[in-house]
C-alpha cells in the first residue's frame, strides 16, 4: 500500500535538511561547494580535508573520455593559483600535508617501514600493489601526474600540489604490498600538472 503523501513530504524535508548541511562534521554527507561543485570532506586530526580530487574550472582530465572521474583533474601551477576557494578553506601548504601524515604516525619524508600506516591515507582501489584501507577517509587515488601533456600512468603515485608550488607524493616503492612511502618534491616546472585538495582548520 502506498504510504500517505504527508509521510513522503516529511521524509523529503528531513533528507533535504541533512544534505544541505554544507559543513557539518557530524553528517556522513559532509560536503563543501568549491567553484560550483560539491566535494566531500572528512575531519582528520584538527583539520577538515576534501576527500576527493578537485575537478573544477581549468585543468585536464585523465584522458579525453574521462574514464577515471575519481581522479578529478590535473592542474598547472598557474591554474592552481587561479582557483577561488571558499572562506576558511585553502590550498594546503607542505606543513598541512605533514600534519596530515603525522596524524597517522607517519614522518615526512617517510621510511619504507611506514608503509602499513600510509595505507590509511590511500584508496582501496586502483593501486598496482598496495592494498589501501582508507581508514583516514583521505582516499588518495594513484592518479600519477602529467608532464608536457603526456598521458598519466596510473597505479603507483598520488601527488598533490601545495600552495607554494611543492608537491606531496605518496608512492609505491616496489611490488611488496606494504612498500609505500611519502616524498616531497620541488615541482615548480611550468609543464607539470598535479591533482589538488583543500584543507580547513577546525574552529
Residues spanned by the domain of 160:
32-201
All three cell numbers of 47: 583539520
User: Does 119 reside within a domain?
Assistant: yes
Beta strands in 51-128 (DSSP E): 89-90
For 148, other C-beta atoms within 10 Å of its C-beta total: 9
**Coil vs helix vs strand at 98:** helix
pLDDT in tens, 107-165: 999 998 899 999 999 999 999 999 999 999 999 999 999 999 899 999 999 999 999 99
Looking at residue 184, its pLDDT comes to: 94
Query: Per the structure, how many domains does the chain have?
Result: 1
pLDDT at 28: 54
pLDDT at residue 14 tops 80: no
Q: Which cell is 195 given?
A: 591533482
> Does residue 21 sit within a domain?
no
Provide the pLDDT for residue 16: 35
Amino acid at each position: 500500500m502506498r504510504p500517505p503523501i504527508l509521510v513522503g513530504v516529511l521524509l523529503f524535508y528531513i533528507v533535504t535538511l541533512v544534505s544541505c548541511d554544507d559543513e557539518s562534521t557530524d553528517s556522513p554527507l559532509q560536503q563543501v561547494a568549491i567553484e560550483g561543485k560539491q566535494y566531500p570532506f572528512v575531519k582528520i586530526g584538527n583539520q577538515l580535508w576534501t576527500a576527493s580530487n578537485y575537478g573544477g574550472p581549468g585543468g585536464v582530465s585523465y584522458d579525453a573520455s574521462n574514464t577515471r572521474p575519481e581522479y578529478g583533474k590535473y592542474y598547472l601551477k598557474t591554474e592552481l593559483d587561479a582557483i577561488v576557494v571558499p572562506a576558511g578553506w585553502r590550498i594546503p601548504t607542505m606543513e598541512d600535508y605533514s600534519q596530515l601524515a603525522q596524524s597517522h604516525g607517519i614522518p615526512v619524508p617517510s621510511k619504507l617501514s611506514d608503509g602499513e600506516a600510509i595505507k590509511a591515507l590511500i584508496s582501496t582501489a586502483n593501486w598496482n600493489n598496495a592494498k589501501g584501507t582508507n581508514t583516514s577517509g583521505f582516499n588518495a587515488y594513484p592518479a600519477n601526474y602529467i608532464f608536457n601533456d603526456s598521458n598519466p600512468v596510473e597505479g603507483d603515485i598520488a601527488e598533490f600540489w601545495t600552495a607554494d608550488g611543492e608537491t606531496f607524493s605518496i608512492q609505491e616503492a616496489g611490488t611488496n604490498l606494504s612498500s609505500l612511502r611519502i616524498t616531497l618534491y620541488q615541482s615548480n616546472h611550468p609543464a607539470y600538472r598535479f591533482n589538488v585538495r583543500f584543507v580547513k582548520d577546525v574552529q
